[in-house]
Chain A
Amino acid sequence: MVVDSRSSKQSLFQPLPGGIKLLMALAMILAAGLIPLENWPAHGLLIGMIYIGLSIAGVTTGYLLRRLALFMPMLLVFGLSAPAVRSDGAAWSWTISLWLRCTVSFLAGLWLIHVLPFRELLITLRRWRCPAVLIAMLGFMYRYTFILWDELHRLQNARAARDFGSGPWWRTWSTNSQMIGLLLLRAMERAERTHRAMLARGWDGSVRFLESDE
């Protein structure tokens, strides 16, 4: 899976602390939420700023358009449902304002996933005095995610090798549910094994960090 691989690219933003990047993205989203529709050129300014940021972070325009193409349909449907539930003249201006706000926020989020590696997020959370248990859980989740994705791919390959094309929809639904169930069994057994291995190495339930992580 191509997760988190883009965020380790060298760019101008890399030496910045994670907290600054997080706050920059949040500030953009907040600004987009506070600008009234009458000042719509401000949204254009924000989009331009984020586009420059994205280019510096090494995002190609082709990739950006692909992501936008995936994002737009849902936004279009949500925006177009506004004129359906209200009949006054303000409906369309509300829809356009929603589209602008959501696009700016989406681009800011896209910038963030390209400049903030997961490790930096954990370090930032720790600096912000987030409980150590929660950070340890996030770390565990991150590691297990890749393992379970591989497991899921194996299950899906095995199923594809056994059923010949698609059956009726309820068959697919029940097979898929059973696949998640099997994944759950394997995941929980693996977690128990991991826990026993941790006990064998002196785990007492408290989480410690090496100082050099900072």
Chain B
Amino acid sequence: MHIRDGILGPEVCLMAGIISLGAVSYSLRRLRFDLEDRAVPLTGMLAALIFAGQMVNFPLLGLPVSGHLLGGVLAAVTLGPWAGCLAISMVLIVQAVLFSDGGLMSLGANILNMGVVGAWGGYGVYSTIRRTFGSSHAATVAAAVIAAWLSVLAAATLFCVEFLLSSHSSGFDPRGILTLMVLYHALIGVGEALITGGVLAYVLGRRPDLIPELGSIGPVGRVGGFAVSGVVLALAVAAILAPFKSELPDGLDAVSEQVGLSALEVERPPLVLEDYAIPLLARWPQLSVSVAGILGTLIVFAGAAGLAGMTRRTTPSIVTRSIVTTDGSHGG
């Protein structure tokens, strides 16, 4: 999973680095608020734990290679998304600087793919599923298993986007790379999901109090968790499906061609996402379709989140407070 230096172009590494820097500093701010003075020793221990856990090798059906835990979702489930993101980032820093495992220049991309998508996105999926199906042990384990699988898939998709955006790798067929990566990581994801589920089931059997309830997260966190999990799901779905979109014209276009209406069509100024393809990415038609799909999904979600925020703001404050307390007493 670790991206080596030399695979991504320097400009993509720089962009990913800036994004992950922002994500890490935001996690730091939220962490001090959530865990207070326990933040430093607990997060340090969590990072060391994920690091040690990655040393345990899992045999792969008699093959000479072996798999290991990645840990994004496990870390987020144990101490929350902020500590989880920081722990994974620290593991990646130490691996890059002390073990030469994963690149120095592509550290930002690695943190983005595994720390931010793995911990934040994975936690979003996990908390949404848990809220829907209650907080029984089975639901918790199932939520973590699904989140682990999806987070690996989302990380693989994000890697494809980063790879295809690099200046080195022009001329590749995005559909081929995406298919290869998604197939390969769907399998890796199954391993990660099994390990995460196994660890969590064991911990829940011994010390269920170590896995925190979701009740402490306020309504804003709920909307955020829902939005994040939706984005992760949509990224996975859009990335899997968009390149295979039919080349044929859609229903209305086909009908208008048959009837001969196309001659009547008036020239209109181009829209931003003309026919689901971003003009800048004209070099890679399939990728541009994918990116357009992802961008479109993001815009839709931003709109939905904005609407949700507006409805909440119109609610009188006393009512809001009473909703919060009832929700809190039920423990979500």
Residue ranges of A at the interface with B (Cβ–Cβ < 8 Å): 3-4, 22, 25-26, 29-30, 32-34, 67, 75, 78, 81-82, 84-86, 88, 90, 94, 97-98, 101-106, 108-110, 112-113, 116, 118, 121, 131, 133-134, 136-145, 147-149, 151-152, 166, 169, 172-174, 176-185, 187-188, 190-191, 194-195, 198-199, 203-205, 207
Contacts and interface: CB of A to CB of B under 8 A. Distances in A.
Contacts of B280: none
B144 interface: no
Nearest to B194: A173
B137 interface: no
A184 B49 contact: yes
A138 B28 CA distance: 13
B173 A86 contact: yes
Contacts of A174: 198
Contact of A133 (B32, B52, B87, B97): B32
B53 A180 contact: yes
B263 interface: no
Residue of B28, B39, B87, B94 most packed against chain A (CB within 10 A): B94
Interface of B: 4-7, 9-10, 24-25, 28, 32, 36-49, 51-53, 55-62, 69, 78, 86-87, 90-91, 93-94, 96-100, 103-105, 168-169, 171-173, 176-177, 180, 194-195, 197-203, 206-207, 210
B97 A172 contact: no
B100 A110 contact: yes
A26 B206 CA distance: 46
Contacts of B207: 185, 188
Most buried by B among A22, A97, A178: A178
A169 B47 contact: no
A109 B100 CA distance: 5
A105 B4 contact: yes
Nearest to A152: B52
Nearest to A37: B168
B3 to A, nearest CB: 10
A98 B7 contact: yes
Contacts of A4: 98
A141 B90 contact: yes
B99 A113 contact: yes
B48 A141 contact: yes
Contacts of A97: 168
A180 to B, nearest CB: 5
Contacts of A90: 171
A140 B5 contact: no
Pairs of residues from A and B, 9 with the lowest C-beta to C-beta distance, nearest first: A140-B44, A177-B198, A181-B202, A101-B6, A105-B5, A205-B37, A144-B48, A85-B176, A109-B100
A38 to B, nearest CB: 14
